[in-house]
A and B are shown apart, each in its own frame.
Chain A
């Protein structure tokens, strides 16, 4: 491979960042790629991050925008800062949070459904295509800056949420390859990337901060999502090694919820004074709240803070509305609302299911991040050591730039665990800015250390996977045949390994697609390949996209059925593959995700 650079791409829910370093560097110094993007209708700037927002241009804008970027871009849409600004005023023409749609298994992610619930005149695209377009912008920015070293010839590490299941990862890979990323692209879990960023910052000193048996809780709270992981420290041939033990669910709660909550609170205060805010004011208010949030949360900040909405017209002083906000009120709203001190046994409120609920993104009903963390820690206690608590914590994501929120999280832990958790980023105040770039930098460092054979977090698959098998037996009219789940991939199956699943033979009809229901679990860690589950709870196993294979009808075979067993494989690049292997011939057929709504 002639790759010159290792490139880490953090394709974020709200912002994307690209970091890179030379593969032959002795000590990796990650740099950030400057990404050209429209920042106004008539201006292009390069910025270190690209807001992951897509805006469908109107016809009168299209011609001017198409030629604005340094490269030839497809006309008709804009990605980046200008698109982000448009999102506030034209939500029906913009797509944000496409990444969360990728993980939303109850919609068809290859169907043109975004912008969600947009009027008919808006040409829609699929979540996969939106993801491809964001990535294409990043690829073009790279190729423009490094025309001698095109991105498809570099070593590329793309991060995904740890909570992404196999089909969401596969869809991300599909979009990435279409966008022009190299086929040997590596997907890395974001919380792991945050750990790599910490390892890169510490250099060889990292071993001093951890001991064998330590468990690191990684809390990554970004703009739109919360992603949790547990990393264990083990002894590996006399050296310390890191192993990813558990990953959390995909939680749609983050810093944007906090900005919005503060904006609603302040809008209500304006209302008490008889000042009605129009929609434009609300946009401006959201901006003021975003910037005011940090100083309002600072523990040694002023007791009250003035939040202003500048007049919309030319008269910026005369039109300004402002209001005093008490720091204690804001602390109560944000710190207690999102990070309440709670018991280790507290759990987030369940999503309320209503028959009339609109099928948008499944935003969390309960915004208490601490309770989500408590549930995660509890769900992933090792069965043989129920008391084993995490000993270290690594904060990541823009929300934790606020020292007050880091301290609040640490305070919550003191109620839960016998010994206080050590904050691995306790020296953070110096480098606050890096918390929203850490994932990209960590991804680049991972690629570099993989190339060098240096420290690597062992993990394997983050979940165990099951194929649904209908049990044979007499059919009872009106009742479905009982379903059993055959474990085909155990938790933690390592990259570069494959397993033949011991099971009874399963008959597959030739010449028509064979579809299997497919399940995953992030909590059943003891199940071995071939194990057949006949009972499980909804919490344990969740159904994901079904898998299918079409076995060609062979003329020489008399039997329309072919008996198969399953074989599972995790490639060196971390791609999960399932195969049907014929037991009476040499035939092998790969199962692919059928990412479609089951109602179709």
Chain B
């Protein structure tokens, strides 16, 4: 009953008064040019571009990588399996396929390359200054770099980093592999 009364009031109010008409227009259509209040409109925050530091991402990229290795290569299944139950041959048969597919994933996402083109066993000199994450020196290390020695491991380096962009919801932020159900 109240609503019918209100509707009549609005109807006659808008028909005969200009101020109520403006208010109703505002209600129905949002602010129009004439109806806009004189005070300055506050700056709108762009909804599409939140600042990156503002929010912690819902999901760690590490889980997204793990999910890709599971999805395409079944790596998590292999690692979670109790190895003592199986013979080397059984493990080998499954591992061959899993490792092959893991390689494909890593190659596609990171295109791993040896960090130096020098061969293992050849002589190599470090730069005069270097990061400990770039060169690891061992043995008879003394004095200031550059160090001179034998290459033991050429290292690995990603030549790109094309991580999948995770698109799931907050509820699924910790999922590595979905629950699979077959409808019969």
Closest to A323 in B: B93
Report chain B residues within 8 Å CB of A310.
Answer: 74, 77, 94, 97-98
Closest to A70 in B: B165
Query: In terms of DSSP, what is the predominant structure of the interface of chain B?
Result: helix
A211 within 8 A of B: no
When chains A and B are docked, how far (Å) is the Cα of A45 from the Cα of B163? 7
The number of residue pairs between A and B whose CB atoms lie closer than 8 Å in the complex comes to 81
Within the complex, which residue of B64, B71, B91, B175 is in contact with A317, where a contact is CB–CB below 8 Å? B91
A212 within 8 A of B: no
When A310-B74, A316-B74, A318-B81 are in contact, do A46 and B162 touch as well, CB less than 8 Å? yes
A64–B167 contact, CB under 8 A? yes
When chains A and B are docked, how far (Å) is the Cα of A315 from the Cα of B83? 11
Query: In the assembled complex, how far is the CB of residue A288 from the closest CB belonging to chain B, in whole angstroms?
Result: 7
B81–A315 contact, CB under 8 A? yes
B78 within 8 A of A: yes
From 52 to 104 in chain B, residues with beta carbon under 8 angstroms from any chain A beta carbon are 64, 67-68, 71, 74, 77-78, 80-81, 83, 85-86, 90-91, 93-98, 100
Q: In the complex, which of the residues A34, A43, A288 has the most CB atoms of chain B within 10 Å of its own CB atom? A: A43
Within the complex, which residue of B85, B100, B168 is in contact with A318, where a contact is CB–CB below 8 Å? B85
When chains A and B are docked, how far (Å) is the Cα of A39 from the Cα of B109? 13
Report chain A residues within 8 Å CB of B94.
Answer: 308, 310-311, 316-317, 320
B172 within 8 A of A: yes
Residue interface mask B147-170, A partner, CB < 8 A = 1? 000000000000000101111110
Size category of the B interface is 20 to 34
A320–B85 contact, CB under 8 A? no
Within the complex, which residue of B64, B67, B93, B164 is in contact with A306, where a contact is CB–CB below 8 Å? B93
Report chain A residues within 8 Å CB of B71.
Answer: 40
Residue interface mask B13-34, A partner, CB < 8 A = 1? 0000000000000000000000
Within the complex, which residue of A45, A67, A291, A322 is in contact with B164, where a contact is CB–CB below 8 Å? A45
Query: What are 12 A-B pairs with beta-carbon distances under 8 A?
Result: A34-B162, A38-B167, A41-B178, A42-B175, A43-B164, A44-B164, A44-B165, A45-B162, A64-B167, A315-B77, A317-B91, A318-B90
By a beta-carbon cutoff of 8 Å, the part of chain B in contact with chain A is: 64, 67-68, 71, 74, 77-78, 80-81, 83, 85-86, 90-91, 93-98, 100, 108, 162, 164-169, 172, 175, 178, 182
By a beta-carbon cutoff of 8 Å, the part of chain A in contact with chain B is: 34, 38-47, 64, 67-68, 280, 288, 291, 306, 308, 310-311, 314-318, 320, 322
Give me the 10 closest cross-chain CB pairs, A-B, nearest first: A42-B168, A316-B77, A43-B164, A68-B167, A320-B94, A317-B94, A44-B165, A322-B93, A45-B164, A317-B81
